[in-house]
Structure 1
Amino acid sequence: MLNLSILRQFSRLSICPLAKIQLNTRNVSTTAALQFKITDQLWAEPMKKKKKVDPAIIKAREERRRKKIEKQIRRLEKNARQLKPIDEMEVSLDIIDQLGKRKRPTMQLSPAEAEARALLEKEWTRYKREEYMANIAQIDRIMASQRRALDKLYEESEELYDEAIMPDLQLIPYSINGPVATPPIKNYNSPDGDYIDVSKKWDN
């Protein structure tokens, strides 16, 4: 009797369809069409607990991020004010390397020589001032004489005065030909030449 009751319990399990039984196993099929097939793994992992962060630490991180961005903005503004370099005004590297050889030593002047140079500079300054004042006085005398002559001319004839103060238009298109270093070649056709723009392009 005991064996029959045990068999009845196993018979109940055999009646249950296999599809409804979910086992956490990996099945392998060896049929000819499918060869080997492994089902998906049904393992699970517990969710990670969220760490509680101090609000002061979050605020400090945001402050550091804000300061970093402000520093980058200041660096960009500083570079924006820099002028574009001019190659013609830059000193070549050869001259910079020879700076020690080209630099002259400072001369040590004696007190008498320094005093003589100072007196000579003062004398030259006085001479140039006197020359400047003489030129100004001469210009004033010429302009005063011209003004007196025009006043006398106006008293004599107003038409002559108007003609005298009119500008001479023939003097405006002024051209002059002087000696040159080499005489020009007769019947010489100057070639147009090729122009190649080698200027650098600076993109803002």
Structure 2
Amino acid sequence: MDRVSGADVSVRVAWADDAPAIAAVQLRAWPVLYAGLVPSEAFPSGPEAEQAAAAAWVESLQKPGDARNRVLVALERNRVTGFAITGPASDPDRDPVADAELRELTVDPEEQRRGHGSRLLQAAADTMTADRFTLAVTWVNVGDDALRAFLTGAGWAADSAHRELDLDGSGTTTVKQVRLHTRLA
């Protein structure tokens, strides 16, 4: 389907009512994000998975834990096309008062390359700046060249930190990540 140029697109803070749409985007994006790392049958799918993910999102949106934890949604008209999560940095070598973390930047795989990611990234940076953070960090899967190129093109750079996550708790499904950082205005 072709998109109409000049479509009504925006980014705003997520509401609890957005939880089902955010969950749907996340469940569609995970198999793409972790392709080749996690077997496709390991990803939750179906109505029960969507309901459980939506319930988790409602809880998260209603009780963020820290006032600086934010979820932003990219919209085309009133349809959620992606989301970003920001908050205080959680790494032990970062200062959670001055340093923020872009915890997730996800655009629906069918909506990529339409500007939603750029709008989300700019809104996330503006939000972190408004929350008085001066530096932001994010973790990127080593093999995710597209996301890494997108972020470095926006001024993010590797800071030499790296980690390996155990995705299933058994040590058999791991993902290597590098940390990127940027100064906030």
Give TM-score, length-normalised by structure 2: 0.16
Relative contact order higher in (CA < 8 Å, ≥ 6 apart): 2
Higher relative strand content: 2
Higher helix share: 1
> What is the TM-score when the length of structure 1 is the normalising length?
0.15
Q: Which has the larger radius of gyration?
A: 1
